Chain A
Amino acid sequence: MGSATGRAPVGQNGLGWYVYGVVDAGEAQRELAPPTSVEPAHRVTLVREGTLAAVASKVPLEVFTEEGLRETLSDPAWLEPRIRAHEQVLEAALAVTSVVPFRFCTLFRSDDALRAFLGERRNELREALRSVEGKIEIGVKGFLSGDRFAESFAERDEAARGLRERAASAQGGRAYLERRRLEQLLAREVERFKADAAHDIHNRLLASANHGVLNPTQSREVSGREDEMFMNAAYLVDRGQAFEPEVEALASEYQERGVTLERTGPWPPYNFVPRALVEA
């Protein structure tokens, strides 16, 4: 597993380029003016090569090396502001133009290395840019309240209603048994409902979007919510497209069964650029 040690000369003053993403050089004539950067001593700038421009800022390479990062990445106090800075810089770019986001810690040793990259991969980068031109990413997360679902299910489902009534009127071991049956029935129904609801909501939102993806759901600890997340989707939508009404309509429709939808964004289109650049 080779680090890039010795492959190319380190940039002047031990500084290299941290690249947040790529924009069209012509479209980004206005200054991006992001409020921050991953190393606040060095402001974000555009590094132009042909029709493309990298949104980038200088970083000390002694920190941003594989070895250096192994140390710092384990420190949340170091990491969180930089991860947020990465996002904020791309948001500032997104406010002005279309942007192809790069992953955290994309680094180039020198000016030459960055410009060479932009030149050599211009076709792939232009294609990635074209695919997200005039588009933004919107996140939609679905949460289910188990209690509210159980309530609405017992109202609608005859078997569940019967079990509930018998559990309420029975005594001792008999009541316990009926309650267990009701719980098992509910557990099965919740699983089925979550899968069906995610499928239905996703398909209907896709109709108003260019693309959409379902990502792994977040656990309660991560989402910070009591209700269980059953859907974690992202959609690529045209800027200014009325996507929100679609989400609202679905939220209203599903509300009585215990569903809450949460919309996030606009995000840079992280989910809708290729994972890696392929040769064009």
Chain B
Amino acid sequence: MSSRELETFRSGQPAQLADVLERVLDKGIVIAGDIQINVLDIELLTVKLRLLIASADKAREMGIDWWQGDPFLSRRDGNALEDRLRRLEQAAGLPTSEER
């Protein structure tokens, strides 16, 4: 078995940031309750993070891919979320959902 066929990571070395990000920011239980940030805001911050973690041109591809591929975010009710996302995207200089 050559390492060319199967590459194993994480044996002592840190995981790739992208792999950590897609888990820590995108998965795991979201708790609503007596907390500082309500669920909706966490989602928004998550979207914002996705755009920010990648540098400008990366964000375009990364943000759009992840946004569209995320059924949780896509089916969230309320136009407020979409409005705010659009504002975030505009602020980040990204194409908005409408332009896609």
Contacts and interface: CB of A to CB of B under 8 A. Distances in A.
A215 B22 contact: yes
Contact of B37 (A3, A217, A271): A3
Contact of A61 (B20, B36, B84): B36
A84 B14 contact: yes
A188 interface: no
Contacts of A273: 27-29
B94 to A, nearest CB: 14
Contact of A107 (B15, B23, B35, B54): B35
Interface string A205-221: 00000000001111101
Interface string A92-108: 00000000111111111
Given A4-B36, A107-B36, A87 B1 contact: no
Contacts, number: 186
Given A73-B52, A221-B54, A260-B4, A64 B36 contact: yes
B25 A264 contact: no
A103 B35 contact: no
A104 B30 CA distance: 9
Contacts of A219: 58, 61-62, 65
Given A248-B6, A255-B5, A275-B29, A103 B24 contact: yes
Nearest to B92: A74
Nearest to A254: B5
Interface of A: 1-4, 7-8, 16, 19, 21, 61, 64-66, 69-70, 73-74, 76, 79-80, 83-84, 86-87, 100-109, 113, 116-117, 128, 139, 215-219, 221-224, 244, 247-248, 251-252, 255, 260-268, 270-271, 273-277
Could you tell me the dominant secondary structure of chain A's interface residues? Answer: mixed
B42 A103 contact: yes
Interface in B38-75: 38-42, 45-46, 48-49, 52-54, 57-58, 61-62, 65-66, 69-70, 72
A255 B6 CA distance: 9
12 contacts: A21-B28, A73-B45, A74-B48, A74-B52, A83-B24, A84-B20, A113-B35, A117-B31, A128-B29, A244-B8, A248-B1, A260-B4
Contacts of B48: 73-74
Contact of A222 (B6, B31, B36, B54): B54
A263 B54 CA distance: 23
B53 A261 contact: no
A87 B20 contact: yes
B49 A79 contact: yes
Nearest to A248: B6
B30 A222 contact: no
A116 B24 contact: no
Contacts of A84: 14, 17, 20
Nearest to B67: A216
A248 B80 contact: no
B88 to A, nearest CB: 11
A264 B28 contact: no
Nearest to A103: B28
